[in-house]
Amino acid sequence: MVKIARLAVCGALSLVLIAAGFAGAVNIPSVKPGEDVGQYVTRIKGSLDQTFYKQVVGAANAFKEGDETIGVAADNDLSRENARKLLANTKISFIHDNVLFKDNVQKLIWDTIDFAQYEKIKNWTIGELKTFLLTKDEAAIKSIMYGLDSDVIACVVRLMSNQELIAFGQKIFTNLPGSNLGARGYLAARVQPNSPTDNPLDIKWQVLDAWAYAVGDQVLGTNPVDSTEKSVYAVESTLKDLLTTFGLEDYLPWCCLAHIDVQAAVEKSHPGSTAIFFQSLAGTESANKTFDLTVKKMVDYAKSRKGHYGLYFETGQGADFTNGHGHGFDMVTHESRKYGFARALKQYVAAAQENGDGAWVHLNDVAGFIGPECFKTREQLVRCCLEDIAMGKLHGLTLGLDICSTLHMPVTLDDLAWCQDQIMPANPAYLMALPTRNDPMLSYLTTQYQDHVRIREKFGFKVNDPIWNFFKKIQVIDENGRPTEHFGDPKWVYYQYRLAKGDVRSQEEIYAEAQKQIDEVISHGVDLAIGYGEHIWDLEPTLDKKVHATYDDAKTSLWTEMSEEFISTIPNSISIKTTATDREDYISSPSKGEVLSKDAIATLDKLRNSWGKNTPDVLFVISDGLNAKAIMDDGHLFPYLKEMRKLLKAAGYKVAKENVVITGGRVRAGYKVGENVFNKDKHGGVIVHIIGERPGSGHHAYSAYIAKADKKVWSKAGTMDHDSAKVISGISDTGLKPADAARATVDLIKKM
């Protein structure tokens, strides 16, 4: 399937790292009484040195590996405490006036704060602001918080302990207009019915499954594998049908999380087919450009949203610097700027509403999705989530969470329940929701349907009232608000769906049809939660064992290396390596997997010279990626290569006989190969980079990244990047069949 490779924030899958700035740690051995950040930096450096200023502000953060990579983490607890003292003594106006980084995102944030509120508080110190936020009530806080820019919000949050962040989170709520979503005491759910092949049956049954557990009131949102207009329309139509069948479309939006341009195109060609528009947001202008976004484009979209549903965003700490756009400042500030961007767009959406009520605008933070290059431990995941809840609420946003981890993080499948319990007292607006904690397409760990059931029981959270009434109507919840005999039975919900469609068949007939469809969905590698264990919030024991077995397989896959024996079976293979020294180095230092070794470059020079004036049109590059098994499994790589060569030849393309095989390769390593072999010929060429995907889906899937350019692009290092490449994803013998993937790849090459 085809999608545009974009920034890894929700629905983006890049795990690559370019360390923006410099690695290292910040030492602040001592500070003078009453000294603020500006005075300290000037005393040490002789002026307000911008680099050191960013370091001192970043050093006040709780420790995370990402800040250490950027070079703004404190070297020890004493330095961190001293940085916090300096920050506490610093005036709001100093942070506001001495911008950590200037670009159009920052300017938009600045231009959309409430300057009347700012005038009230500009002479407060960050420490005084913290005291105010922790001691005053909601009304008092809302009377000043819109005067705070995002950098100031990031500064005050880093001064708070976890318990203080929770206490603040319990004070401030911004619900969506006309709903309880985001209100005090409510916890909603974004159902995330992802499919390895965008199969409508997979998507439909995951939603029915969610409703069987009385889960799903924020948005039905599918991350697409295929981001073409045709496929996005099919996903949107599947979700819309479920809602319109039950008359829920005024209370619950649907969304296909493709690029916003694609969603807009689908709406233009099929009016009424879309509801809320989605887009990932970054905290800097340059990071947004990696997935073809500008401030102007997003403002224009915000101004165009006239209906009940507005915009839905995803963000995540670490997404900017992992894509090479950290600009030397810390992850908390980057994340806060994304919320400032969203707050500004929310204002434009509200201004565009004819009735003045404002459309729904909300966002969720995919904390933990980027990987261990950002943070590694479950404690850091909790800290990240608590920071983000507080910053979102302080921006006046309705903010949900994706409390998640990747398979290459040491946050386990079973750690997530502990993390949820630490975070829930801060009352985020919503969480993700899948049948199990393992996403069948994105291959990461998040919140399952029955986690919502457990959390509701433990913390007393409620579901948005109209949708709770719907759950009563379909009889999975009784009039007293308790689960019925139909709770956890998606076949019953399907039966209700068919009745709502006017189906007059017997329950027995419809149940038989339901079981047949369920069996088909499961055969696609998509699990459904049916029934429960000892408690209604426990997975059914057999399914629980299966999920843990998939997790164990993913861990094995992650550490499996592509063997020399296998490489020798690849016809005309040319084996090269990146700068990653071994598998552990590759996983812990993603940037090393993007850089080719000196020997590799020399080998590619020889390859290019051997072609002479007979440069091929297409070169295959094969990398282990995060799952070498995806490449080495029987029936995976070789059927794809065979079909590709046949189809390309038939289409008139000249294909290199050689196959370049990279050990320790990331996606950008493929672009580097292109820079080294297609930088002389004026016509350039096409790199088809076959790389093992993140494990965890059970499919051992790989992707094919297609990068096509002329000499002008290939001869300038770094010009080819994810925003220019396309990708065919989910290729395996149990997912998108290799031969089918080959046909999709060649079709895409012809169109590029």
Residues 600, 677: Cα–Cα separation, whole Å: 12
Helix (H) or strand (E) holding 40: helix 37-45
- Taking Cα atoms as reference points, which of 392, 463, 380 lies closest to residue 422? 380
pLDDT of residue 722: 84
Do the beta carbons of residue 433 and residue 192 sit within 8 Å?
yes
Domain ranges for the chain: 19-160, 167-543, 560-751
Residues 620, 618: Cα–Cα separation, whole Å: 7
Helix (H) or strand (E) holding 349: helix 331-352
Cα atoms found within 13 Å of the Cα of residue 441, Cβ hemisphere only: 24
Structure token digits, residue 331: 């992850």
Higher pLDDT, 735 or 564: 564
Structure token digits, residue 107: 């300017």
**Residue holding tokens 């099919």?**
234
Q: What is the pLDDT of residues 448-485, one digit of tens each?
A: 999 999 999 999 999 999 999 999 999 999 999 999 99
Residues 587, 71: Cα–Cα separation, whole Å: 20
Q: Taking 90 as the threshold, does the pLDDT of residue 373 lie above it? A: no
Q: Taking 80 as the threshold, does the pLDDT of residue 24 lie above it? A: no
Distances (CA, A) of 446 to 11, 64, 335, 459, 489: 13, 20, 20, 19, 22
Partners of 686 in beta bridges: 618, 708
Question: In this predicted structure, which of 365-369, 430-434, 477-481, 577-581 has the lowest mean pLDDT?
Answer: 365-369
Contacts by 73-78 with C-beta closer than 8 Å and gap 24+? 73/25, 73/26, 74/25, 74/26, 74/27, 74/28, 75/25, 75/26, 75/27, 76/27, 78/28, 78/29
% of residues, the chain, pLDDT over 90: 87
pLDDT of residue 372: 81
Read off the pLDDT of each residue in 568-585 and give the average, rounded to a whole number. 96
Distances (CA, A) of 191 to 206, 216, 254: 8, 5, 10
Q: What is the pLDDT of residues 651-704, one digit of tens each?
A: 999 999 999 999 999 999 999 999 999 998 888 999 999 999 988 877 899 999
Q: Taking 60 as the threshold, does the pLDDT of residue 19 lie above it? A: no
**pLDDT tier, 22 (very low <50, low <70, confident <90, very high otherwise):** very low
Is the pTM here over 0.85, yes or no? yes
Q: Taking 80 as the threshold, does the pLDDT of residue 68 lie above it? A: yes
Q: Is 569 exposed, middle or buried (0-12, 13-18, 19+ CB in 10 A)?
A: exposed
pLDDT of residue 356: 64
Residues 627, 554: Cα–Cα separation, whole Å: 8
Q: Taking 50 as the threshold, does the pLDDT of residue 16 lie above it? A: no
**What value does the CA radius of gyration of the chain take, rounded to a whole number of Å?**
26
Q: Taking 60 as the threshold, does the pLDDT of residue 588 lie above it? A: yes
Question: Mean pLDDT for the chain?
Answer: 94
Q: Taking 90 as the threshold, does the pLDDT of residue 410 lie above it? A: no
Name the CATH architecture for the domain at 19-160.
Orthogonal Bundle (1.10)
Structure token digits, residue 674: 């292109």
- Taking Cα atoms as reference points, which of 297, 312, 308, 295 lies closest to residue 352? 308
Read off the pLDDT of each residue in 218-228 and give the average, rounded to a whole number. 93
Residues 26, 20: Cα–Cα separation, whole Å: 16
Partners of 278 in beta bridges: 312
Residues 374, 17: Cα–Cα separation, whole Å: 10
Q: What is the pLDDT of residues 260-309, one digit of tens each?
A: 999 999 999 999 999 999 999 999 999 999 889 999 999 999 999 988 99
Question: In this predicted structure, which of 209-213, 344-348, 426-430, 441-445 has the lowest mean pLDDT?
Answer: 441-445
Read off the pLDDT of each residue in 64-89 and give the average, rounded to a whole number. 96
pLDDT of residue 227: 87
Do the beta carbons of residue 719 and residue 725 sit within 8 Å?
no
Residues 551, 405: Cα–Cα separation, whole Å: 12
The 3 state secondary structure assigned to 624-655 is CCCCHHHHHCCCCHHHHHHHHHHHHHHCCCCE
Question: In this predicted structure, which of 20-34, 153-167, 378-392 has the lowest mean pLDDT?
Answer: 20-34
Residues 6+ apart with CB under 8 A from 750: 651
Do the beta carbons of residue 375 and residue 61 sit within 8 Å?
no
Do the beta carbons of residue 726 and residue 688 sit within 8 Å?
no
Q: What is the domain class of 167-543 according to CATH?
A: alpha beta
Residues 725, 716: Cα–Cα separation, whole Å: 16
Domain topology for 560-751:
Rossmann fold (3.40.50)
Q: How far is Cα of residue 591 from the mean position of the Cα atoms in its chain?
A: 19
Residues in the chain: 752
Read off the pLDDT of each residue in 430-446 and give the average, rounded to a whole number. 94
